[in-house]
Structure 1
Amino acid sequence: MTEIDDIPDMPALRAEIDALDAELIALLARRRALIDRAARIKKAAELPARIGWRVEQVVANARRHAAEQGLDPELIEAIWRQLVEAAIAQEDRHLKGDEE
């Protein structure tokens, strides 16, 4: 990984951002695959897509990690709540037999 202060110009900086975005997308794709697995486990166990305490645990973890990295916990919470809601909708589709 390139040290941030070693990036010489805007084209190089943009290339670093684009590469990082690709890594983030790959991580989100892995998260989606994990959610698919969670849905299969929940279906077998007859659990609902939304488990309230787990939603709050995931959001609290994201806030804590954000603060540890010097990020705005409020912003990260808002992003994570959207991410979690999308995951719940994804699980719900699986539980109802409407997998994409």
Structure 2
Amino acid sequence: MPASKAPADCTNMAELREQIDALDTALIDLLAQRVGYIDRAVDLKKVEGLPARTVDRVAEVKARVRALADARDLDPDLAEALWHTLIEWSIAREAVHLG
């Protein structure tokens, strides 16, 4: 479940940590859901004859993430670094299954 209080509404560290833990749970749930799509991509890439790494798509995703982060006052460098790791992990996972 996402955080239910705004950061400014937390009156002590216990409340703040509870909200952070809720966000961490939501992020893990979303990442697990994303992996399901990565696994489906393997099947579709086999059918369409696509490689695990599509350079244009990687650049597109990173640019999109940077723009989204910037629009939400999140450091775009942080977002890109996190997605870089996520993308590279995903490509490695696909490559194992694509051969």
Same fold (TM over 0.5): yes
- Superposed, 1:14-93 pairs within 5 Å as 14-93=17-96
Describe the superposition over 1:41-87 as per-residue Cα deviations: whole angstroms up to 9, x where unpaired. 00111110000000000000000001001011112111111111011
Could you tell me which runs of 5 or more consecutive residues in structure 1 were left unpaired when the two chains were aligned: none
Q: Which moved more, 1:31-40 or 1:71-80?
A: 71-80
CA RMSD, 1 decimal: 0.9
Could you tell me which runs of 5 or more consecutive residues in structure 2 were left unpaired when the two chains were aligned: none
Report the equivalent of 1:10.
13
| Higher normalized contact order (CA 8 Å, seq sep 6+, divided by chain length) | 1
Give TM-score, length-normalised by structure 1: 0.91
- Counterpart amino acid of residue 73 in structure 2: G
Give TM-score, length-normalised by structure 2: 0.91
Alignment length (residue pairs): 96
